[in-house]
Amino acid sequence: MRRFLCLALGLLGAMTAATGPAWAQATPEEAAKLKAVLESWVASGVPLDPAEANYLVWRLPATLSIGRWRVDPDGAGYEISSPGTRSLLSRGFGGLFSPTVLFCAASRLRADPIRPGSFSLTADDPLSCRLEWTGEPPLRLVAKSQETTGTIELGDRPGASHDIILNQVTLEKGTDAIASQAYPAGPQPTIKRLTISGTRRAAEDGRSDLTSRIVLEALAGPSPAGTGTISADRIVYETGSQGTDVVALSASAIALAKRLAGDAGKADPAPGDDPAVQALLDTLLGGIGPDSRQETRVQGLVASTPTVRIKAESLDFGAAASAFDRDGVRISVRIDGKGLAVEPTTAYADWLPVEATAQISIDNAPLWTILSAQILSGEPTPEDAAGWMLASRTRFRIDGIHLTAPGGALDLKGEIAMNPDAGLGSAGTLRMRLTGIDGLVKALQADPQASQAAAGLTMVQVLGRQTTLPDGRSARDYDIVIDPSGKLLVNGADVRSLIPKDL
């Protein structure tokens, strides 16, 4: 019995020795390494006055951090305090959404060792976030339950990740007099489950590869602008970037906000002529990283206003940018929609698309110039953007646009290049097929209130080359040429005289 007890104690001692490093006391040196990883994911902030903070959120492609990361040794693990954040979610969408800012307060996390250089992240504090609207009281996110998990790695390629799951989320309205006027009594927006995920992995030269993912399940409630309702079975929003210098981007954004916020009310401050401002601007845009992507996928969408109801079984939007620099960027955009419907129906319902697909590529897009103008002077005008694309000889390639309606379809492919030497400022060729246009023309001609539309579409119909599809349907084909000399040819006919002079 004694031998057995000694053997058991010996095994226990060996196991304790083998696992000892995971139970070792936390150190300030390791806390500093953990903080560096977190700083490269979301940089700490500095104090800003309200004008500077608003300038950073609304003008600059950066998230405003409120407070600083703090990592303190605590036993075998570490207590972590994160900064709060304020970021622009949307600039608005017609009358259905208001410009939206997401504010999340600072939170406390705990990092416990899994193995040497690897830590698990947990949080006991509930996530405290609210949605802010221009000129309106905020909505606070309240969840019945929350689960937070994640990791931090200190190896050759340091990184971090987190997953926050909120169940039974309600967007609570304010209860004061002003809030009651802005939000009359009624149903509150609800989300059955909200999942927020993110990762950071170290890249070259102190840069980071970043991803984020937000999933909303069973969303329902009034639209933020209060002009209707919105519901969706599932919404997934994903973003990713490679080679982002979070620290440099944040520092330059803060410096620009401090420098430019005070110029907002001045007459023609011309901040772009200041070499120091230009250097900060170059650092900020250079910190964005060469490659990025974003995608939004919506299932079971229903959006209503007092006059119209829009449905979509699925709606996907994706965009990617590559080789971003001051000389131009390549952008690809994809849109897919299925089960589209608009209510109430009209006499022209047979020609409203129920499915849509578009794939477009853009080369030499002057995104650096456009973002610079947005930062320095606000949203650039369409005329300014068109001028920059002309100077950059931006090229648009329509890989395919396909719209399907019960009574017809549209197919379009081709390529157009901006050209300052061309008569119309661009040159290229397009090929389009319209199916069911003859039926639409007849329907318009039978409507006394649609005479002008009928006349215009009749002209388009006549220009088309008639063909019969294998299934017996009638279609019209169009070979469109934008000639460098300034001619606009449709199936060989010059149609410049048919285009209004103000276009």
Q: What is the pLDDT of residues 402-452, one digit of tens each?
A: 999 999 999 999 999 999 999 999 999 999 999 999 889 888 888 888 888
- DSSP secondary structure code for residue 261 in this structure: G
Chain segment 358-378, per-residue pLDDT in tens? 999 999 999 999 999 988 888
Q: Is 208 helix (H, G, I), strand (E, B) or coil?
A: strand
Confidence of residue 81 (pLDDT cuts 50, 70, 90): very high
Q: Which helix (H) or strand (E) holds 36?
A: helix 28-39
Q: How far apart are CA 215 and CA 41, in angstroms?
A: 20
Chain segment 438-479, per-residue pLDDT in tens? 889 888 888 888 888 888 888 899 999 999 999 888 899 999
Q: Which helix (H) or strand (E) holds 452?
A: helix 451-463
CB under 8 Å to 104, separation ≥6 — which residues?
Answer: 84, 85, 86, 127, 128, 129
Q: How far apart are CA 34 and CA 251, in angstroms?
A: 20
Q: 22-26, 94-98, 329-333 — which one is most confidently predicted on average?
A: 329-333
Is there a contact between 189 and 201 (Cβ–Cβ < 8 Å)? Answer: no
Percentage with pLDDT > 90 across the chain: 64
Amino acid at site 376 = L
Cis (ω within 30 of 0) for the bond into 344? yes
Higher-confidence position of 58 and 91: 58
Chain segment 126-181, per-residue pLDDT in tens? 889 998 877 677 889 999 999 999 999 998 999 999 999 999 999 887 544 333 33
What residues pair up with 108 in beta bridges, in sequence order?
A: 81
Q: How far apart are CA 211 and CA 292, in angstroms?
A: 10
How would DSSP label each residue in 269-325?
Answer: --GGG-HHHHHHHHHHHHTS-SEEEEEEEEEEEEEE-SS-EEEEEEEEEEEEEEEEE
Q: Which helix (H) or strand (E) holds 455?
A: helix 451-463
Amino acid at site 248 = A
**Tokens 């940089």 found at:** 43
pLDDT of residue 16: 33
- DSSP secondary structure code for residue 29 in this structure: H
What does each C-alpha distance from 117 to 152, 197, 198 come to in angstroms?
8, 22, 20
